[in-house]
Structure 1
Amino acid sequence: MKKVIPNSLISCPNCGHQKLEVMPTDACQWFYECEACHEVLKPKPGDCCVYCSYGSVKCPPIQDGSSCCG
């Protein structure tokens, strides 16, 4: 098991706002509301969660080589 990075800098594609967030370690996060423009982000096609689509670091299950969403 490799060391998992728990934080990801999520970037809003609508307004460019960025925020460092602590990712859930055992679940996908399918929605994320930008605190600046209130756009609700959803994963891009082929990605399991918003961190894999818009974060600086992939989600913990993907980092660990596991399946993210089951």
Structure 2
Amino acid sequence: MELNSTITCPQCAFKKTEIMSTNSCRFFYECLHCKILLKPNKGDCCVFCSFGDVVCPPIQNGDKCCEN
């Protein structure tokens, strides 16, 4: 399982590699460059699935994201 995902800001194209948690979802992410608050796109479960180059760990495992 890959835990590093590079998030690309859709507004300014700034890229930052982040480490994904295996036990929680990340619904919000503030771009360090332009300060826009990223939220998942409709149909996506988290910011990594919407803006990352690697999807979140539950999706990598074939599970539903953030399922309790």
Secondary structure of 2:18's counterpart equals strand
State yes or no: 1:21 paired with 2:18.
Answer: yes
TM-score with structure 1 setting the length: 0.92
Structure 1: unaligned runs, 5 residues or longer: none
State yes or no: 1:30 paired with 2:27.
Answer: yes
RMSD in angstroms over aligned alpha carbons? 0.6
Aligned to 2:47: 50
**Where has structure 1 moved over 3 Å in runs of 4 or more?**
none
> How far apart are 1:10 and its partner, in Å?
0.3
Count of aligned pairs: 67
Percent identical among aligned pairs is 54
Structure 2: unaligned runs, 5 residues or longer: none
